[in-house]
């Protein structure tokens, strides 16, 4: 059985019908999972209500400035608005974003209790959210918060974050690159939004590995990078938990980038991770073509069930 942490409340973060990061993304994935050949091996899990997760708010304040948290809460409370041109906040967005954080923390708990993977099917995504600003559809930095949370758990001294979203996780890197107990590795199209993630950036503790790839790249570019760069970097760090910012917008049919991966390629990515450890939190980031998004999530989960 593989836990999938999901709530229909994640659909209540409204971004507008034409916005690429919309509730239909999750509906498509849920529908696909429910009719998958391995559907009976999925353990659907509701996230813990944010108010019941005692460590959530202290971790949120540790990761984001109080002024920024207050700003999102106030925009939501007054009917909604925008953090930037791409990042809307609707009346329920603040509460939904907190629930998304809680889902990522629940996944950490589940993975550490079972020593097996879990998948967080939540929105809004988080890897572009910096400490004092949201951008790129992201409100709170889910993966970074989950990493800090994991370090509070017994026996967890090092956490690695692998970001295979097609866009560089500028927020995640900015938040964790000064922390010697957290490693961050990103494969991303360059040039592309948000314009960050140079290969020359290594973090304050040699704990950052950025692997920019040019537009048009496919699995023949990604596979050697995983084998020769990603796996050695993560293996050398010897993390007690791996968190994957699982974006699926590097698919060839995705409208927001120009990388030519296929859904089945994520089976290979997942396999490389599982060779390192089964203690993996997979959390959804991007992916905006509903069909290839769903197929890619299924590929990741099916590989974890083997």
Q: Give the CB-side neighbour count of residue 235, counting CA atoms within 13 A.
A: 12
Backbone angles phi, psi at 242, to 5 degrees: -110, 130
Cα 220 to chain centroid, rounded: 24
Domain boundaries, the chain: 2-304
Look up the CATH number of domain 2-304. 3.40.800.20
Report pLDDT for 199: 98
Q: For residues 265 and 226, is the Cβ–Cβ distance under 8 A?
A: no
* Region of 115 on the Ramachandran plot (φ > 0 left; ψ -120 to 50 alpha; else beta): left
Q: What is the pLDDT of residue 306?
A: 87
Report mean pLDDT in 10-residue bins for the chain, 306 residues: 98 96 98 98 98 96 98 98 97 98 98 98 98 98 98 98 98 98 98 98 98 98 98 98 98 98 98 98 98 98 96
pLDDT at 100: 98
Q: What is the pLDDT of residue 271?
A: 98
168 Cβ contact partners less than 8 Å away, ≥ 6 residues apart: 186, 188, 190, 192, 194, 196, 197, 210, 212
pLDDT of 17 reads: 86
Q: What is the pLDDT of residues 115-127, one digit of tens each?
A: 999 999 999 999 9
Question: Which residue intervals of 240-289 are DSSP H helices?
Answer: 265-276
pLDDT of residue 305: 97
Pick the catalytic residue: 128, 167, 168, 179? 128
Nearest-10 Cα torsion for 123, 38, 245, 216: -110
In whole angstroms, what is the distance from residue 178 CA to residue 191 CA? 25
- Calpha distance 32→198 (Å, rounded): 36
Active-site residue 128, yes or no?
yes
């Amino acid at each position: 059985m593989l836990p999938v942490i999901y709530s229909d409340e994640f659909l209540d973060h409204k971004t507008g019908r034409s916005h690429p990061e919309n509730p239909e993304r999750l509906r498509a994935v849920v529908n696909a999972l429910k009719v998958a050949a391995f559907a009976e091996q999925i353990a659907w899990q509701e996230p813990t209500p944010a108010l019941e997760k005692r460590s959530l708010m202290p971790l949120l304040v540790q990761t984001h400035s109080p002024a920024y948290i207050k700003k999102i809460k106030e925009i939501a409370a007054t009917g909604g608005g925008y953090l930037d041109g791409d990042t809307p906040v609707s009346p329920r967005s603040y509460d939904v974003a907190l629930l998304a954080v809680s889902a990522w923390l629940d996944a950490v708990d589940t993975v550490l209790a079972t020593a097996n993977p879990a998948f967080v099917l939540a929105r809004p995504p988080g890897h572009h959210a910096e400490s004092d600003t949201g951008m790129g559809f992201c409100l709170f930095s889910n993966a970074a918060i989950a990493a800090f949370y994991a370090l509070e758990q017994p026996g967890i001294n090092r956490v690695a974050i692998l970001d295979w979203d097609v866009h560089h996780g500028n927020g995640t890197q900015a938040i964790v690159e000064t922390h010697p107990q957290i490693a961050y590795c990103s494969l991303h199209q360059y040039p592309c939004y948000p314009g960050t993630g140079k290969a020359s950036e290594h973090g304050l503790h040699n704990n950052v590995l950025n692997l920019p790839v040019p537009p048009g790249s496919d699995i023949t570019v990604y596979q050697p990078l995983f084998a020769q760069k990603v796996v050695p970097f993560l293996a050398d760090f010897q993390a007690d938990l791996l968190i994957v910012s699982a974006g699926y917008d590097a698919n060839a049919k995705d409208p927001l980038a120009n990388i030519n991966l296929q859904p089945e390629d994520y089976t290979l990515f997942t396999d490389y991770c599982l060779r390192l450890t089964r203690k993996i939190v997979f959390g959804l980031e991007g992916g905006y073509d509903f069909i290839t998004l769903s197929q890619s999530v299924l590929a990741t989960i099916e590989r974890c069930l083997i």
